[in-house]
Chains A and B, each alone.
Chain A
């Protein structure tokens, strides 16, 4: 696990001393700010508020399509370089000839990405603080919503890490990740398109929008958590196998 910590710290340093994380943070916060502002003005103009909805539920739930769109932008950009860059520059050779296992390399890098993802979300906690000034905030809803976002991020970052390990080109990694993640997002939209049946159930099961809608109501659906977790673990497992396979290239 020594290797894990070393890789984790280096990856985190690399993410934050290069402009990438800062650019993503800025773009992300600008977009979130715009979404949040429009939701707030919308609620402010409403004459009477209903009981089961509020700006927070709208932000994390009903209107989560905007929020997920920004994730489809941010997550692939965050993961594209993680392995592709090391393979292009050759540093992967020094990394893999150190006494570390492929699993600790993959986990170290992935954990750094997940930490960065969490750090990028952290400033949005201010929105909750802002809302608290004017009304009551249901902390259960806030907690569940962030848990939902963490689950989606974990799955997206895992898939992105895998795509980055599949190619030496950051651009190809970016495009592949967008393709896969946007594809899964579109599959989720199928829930609103198809007739009731098995296919619609599948779409509903993988839908990130439905997940956020449930979580924003404070409903912690274990199936959602298991789904996110399985995608994450599968992605990391395959990535480890891919890294291992480079020895035989």
Chain B
């Protein structure tokens, strides 16, 4: 079912939705860019549709809204523990088709990759409803079409801004509010059919020959292991645990889960001081192989959704898309 909204009508819709949901969307965070007097497009709670940034890609991915950077799991003292309480409200998140595909990747790791689902992920994930933002044109670093992630059917509603009005295709009306505030009209979401760049993912990579490839030495000399590529990635899911004992009363404390990155020192530290992949090039190889080979071997789809955020974020201008292409070319040459 499709609906048309004026800005005022959409804002009334948001107001109604906000009674039971927190609504998150990419917004312009003034002055929050890395450099002085620069802004950043990032996720924040919104109350007005005008605050949603449609014409730029968000720097950070939407995953932080339902998979927080820091999540308190439980509190403990000498007698026992109590689980952290989650917000009663649900979550509605505005995101792109590729981002929704990335949520599906996260679901695979967090819900399907073991004997039981990740409880703390699931309790927030169950609250999530997704509103796909149409992509009317591709951004610079996008390569979703190559990854087959440019489209999705998995959304409650779609939204795009067209000639001053907001058009939504609604698959699952939330509390009937879209129908209540909108004007019925035929709408189908728009997704890009081509990107400015395309990559050909090599499908027959062999770890041993990939590991022997000298490109990792080159990348190792460029990469500074800052972890930005993983932090902005919508499908990276690694985390670590932190047990905190409160300063004033060390018998009480909390366990929290915090994002981790395979690119950053300490990720593979083991008891006895052993650790793997000390070299930055090796770390990058590990990440790239996970994104375009290992994940698919296990789950049938590539982990990388081609959003290109890692390309945008890398301070050393390392491009994952370019790296994938190089691997593909070398594979073709080796076979030829």
Q: Do A and B come from one complex?
A: no
Which residues of B come within 8 Å of A, CB atoms?
none
Which residues of A come within 8 Å of B, CB atoms?
none
